[in-house]
Amino acid sequence: MTEDWRSYVQRIEELAARSGLSFNPVDFEAVPDSFMMEVAIYGLPVRMPHWSFGVRYIYQLIQRRMGHSRLFEVVFPGNPGHAYLAESNGLAENILVTAHVLGHADFSRNNLLFRRCQQQVSERIVEHAASHARQIQHNIEAHGAQRVEAVLDAALALEQHIDVDQDLRRERYAEYLADPRTLVDDTFRKRFAALEPAAPSASLERKRAPVPPHAERDLLWFVANYAPEMESWERDIFLAVREESFYFYPVFATQIMNEGWASYWHARLLREADFVPQQSYLDAIKCHSDVVRPIAAEQQVSLSVNPYHLGFAMWEKIVAKDGLDAARRIMEQDDDFAFVRNHLTRELADELGLFRYSARSDGQIKVLEQDLTALHEALLAPRYNFGAPVVSAAHVRNDGTLELTHDSSVDGRGLDLERSRKVLDYMQKVWRRPIVLTTVNQAGSALELTAP
């Protein structure tokens, strides 16, 4: 069975290359379902241990037992890429999945956001994550499981708080404020200096720059670099988590595009693959329609939008209207925000039956009037800022107290106080000085949380 599937891989790859896909080689491996599930939970084949993954594991087990989810493949971009296929896949499913994986491989090699992040993280994230896991294992042996766990509690709680616009390997802030005098026109300064050689040297009055010099969104980086009493192995754990987050970001921020692109290509490659036997083709097409179906069969309405379906429909539309070259350009340049805002048109939204709704806390759900821009934002809202509230480091006081601020003007409302307090508790264990967080309460007035 599996042998059969492997014999198709090469032919599908050739077909994909002829169709204009350009991808790094991909290692395919068939693995047991249990392993698939774990990869999906951890996000990486080998990753640091943490109890929170255990919680997800149980939820996943429950879901699987209830028959809600089934994983066909998990793919890791890189050079070479790694694709894990579930051993339980049938031949038709595997043919489909192989084509799907190549779509992802094409996407991750050519999409700018992916490329940028991969340049930062390197194309070997799978190996990096495994070495982080190993390092953390060493830490556990050296410092004890509890101390390591406390650090991971904090680091993983902040995993979404990175700044992908900055480099992965960032320099520390300049220690001194730029001297305003150096900013003045150079030739003038030289002439001026020549006139008065005894002018007091500028360096004597250098001023220390405040830390941070501006609100810092990359909390993982900031804590790792500026925590007053953190040990170096603790900083390394923070930076390891941060590196993995840099890897996860493009996956997160291009989900609709990426899954849509892969679905578009598996459908198209399958249509063109005349070497696939008739029956397998039919089975594969059925599987495809399950994957990209908008709504569960027994339902009329869904309160969420299947990203596979949305992306697939959008790419089909784009290719039909503007051709493949235009589609490839969009694929290279956009992320989900640009993609949805630019290419989800009124007609398409109507065609797909997309709507906007509001859900009151008493459980009443009401469909809202049509408004394309608002629909875009409703689709994208859960994806802003890596899905996390905008919390940044604002200031470190002389006594080492860290001031965090939550930008409620961007997020529209304040933080969940109980959870935030717990996060502060986690952070406090590595920051080791007081932490103050300002957000707003229900009424919109400022509110301060402190730890300890």
Partner 1 sequence: MEGDQGRREEGAAGGAGKWYELFSRGARDWLRHDEKVREAVRANLPEIIAGGEVINDGARTVRVPVRMLEHYHFRLRRPEEAQGAGQGKAKPGDVLSDPARERGPGEKGAGGRDEGEVQLLLEFKVDDIVDWLWEEMQLPNLKARVGPSDESDWTREGWDRRGARSRLDRRRSFKELVKRRGAPGATPTFTDEDLRFRQLARRRQPAVHAVVFFMLDVSGSMSDRDRKLAKTFFFWVVQGLRRQYRSLETLFVAHTTEAWEFNEPDFFQVTGTGGTVASSGLLKVREVIDTRFNPGRSNIYLFYASDGDNSVSDAAEARAALASVAADTCFTGYVEVSSGLSRQLATETGKLFAELSGAGCAVGSYALNDFDDVWGAVRHFFTAESHSPDGPRAADAPAGGAPQAGSP
Answer yes or no whether residue 302 interacts with partner 1 by CB under 8 A. yes
Stretch that binds partner 1, among 7-15, 100-108, 154-162, 281-289 (CB under 8 A): 154-162
Q: Do the beta carbons of residue 89 and residue 72 sit within 8 Å?
A: yes
Which residues does residue 416 pair with via DSSP β-bridges, in sequence order?
Answer: none
Q: How far apart are CA 50 and CA 138, in angstroms?
A: 15
Answer yes or no whether residue 254 interacts with partner 1 by CB under 8 A. no
Phi, psi of 159 (to 5 degrees): -60, -25
Residues in CB range of 331: below 8 A, 6 or more apart: 107, 110, 111, 257, 261
Q: Which of residues 404-433 bind partner 1 (CB under 8 A)?
A: 406, 411-417, 419-420, 422-423, 426
Q: Binding-site residue total for partner 1 (CB under 8 A)?
A: 93
Q: How far apart are CA 102 and CA 73, in angstroms?
A: 12
Helix (H) or strand (E) holding 198: none
Answer yes or no whether residue 379 interacts with partner 1 by CB under 8 A. yes
Of 375, 394, 396, 451, which one interacts with partner 1 (CB under 8 A)? 375
Q: What's the min distance (Å) between Cβ of 359 and partner 1?
A: 5
Answer yes or no whether residue 90 interacts with partner 1 by CB under 8 A. no
Q: How far apart are CA 271 and CA 385, in angstroms?
A: 38
Helix (H) or strand (E) holding 365: strand 365-367
From residue 156 to residue 195, the character string flagging contacts with partner 1 as x (rule: CB under 8 A) and all else as - is: xxx-xx----------------------------------
Nearer to partner 1 (CB atom), residue 106 or residue 153: 153
Answer yes or no whether residue 359 interacts with partner 1 by CB under 8 A. yes
Answer yes or no whether residue 153 interacts with partner 1 by CB under 8 A. yes
Answer yes or no whether residue 449 interacts with partner 1 by CB under 8 A. no
Q: Do the beta carbons of residue 135 and residue 236 sit within 8 Å?
A: yes
Q: What's the min distance (Å) between Cβ of 285 and partner 1?
A: 20
Among candidates 268, 54, 278, which has minimal Cα distance to 149? 54
From residue 282 to residue 301, the character string flagging contacts with partner 1 as x (rule: CB under 8 A) and all else as - is: ------------xxx--xxx
Answer yes or no whether residue 347 interacts with partner 1 by CB under 8 A. no
Q: What's the min distance (Å) between Cβ of 26 and partner 1?
A: 13
Answer yes or no whether residue 342 interacts with partner 1 by CB under 8 A. no
- For residue 92, count other CB atoms closer than 10 A to its CB: 22
Q: How far apart are CA 232 and CA 98, in angstroms?
A: 43
Answer yes or no whether residue 134 interacts with partner 1 by CB under 8 A. no
Q: Which of residues 21-50 bind partner 1 (CB under 8 A)?
A: 29, 31-32, 34-35, 37-38, 40-43, 47, 49-50
Q: What's the min distance (Å) between Cβ of 360 and partner 1?
A: 5
Answer yes or no whether residue 124 interacts with partner 1 by CB under 8 A. no
Q: Helix axis angle, 145-157 relative to 125-143, nearest 10°?
A: 140
Q: What's the min distance (Å) between Cβ of 287 and partner 1?
A: 14
Answer yes or no whether residue 58 interacts with partner 1 by CB under 8 A. yes
Answer yes or no whether residue 436 interacts with partner 1 by CB under 8 A. no
Residues in CB range of 174: below 8 A, 6 or more apart: 209, 213
Q: Do the beta carbons of residue 139 and residue 233 sit within 8 Å?
A: yes
Q: Which two tokens stand for residue 433?
A: 């000085």
Q: What's the min distance (Å) between Cβ of 356 and partner 1?
A: 6
Instruction: Provide the 3-class DSSP secondary structure of residue 202.
Output: helix
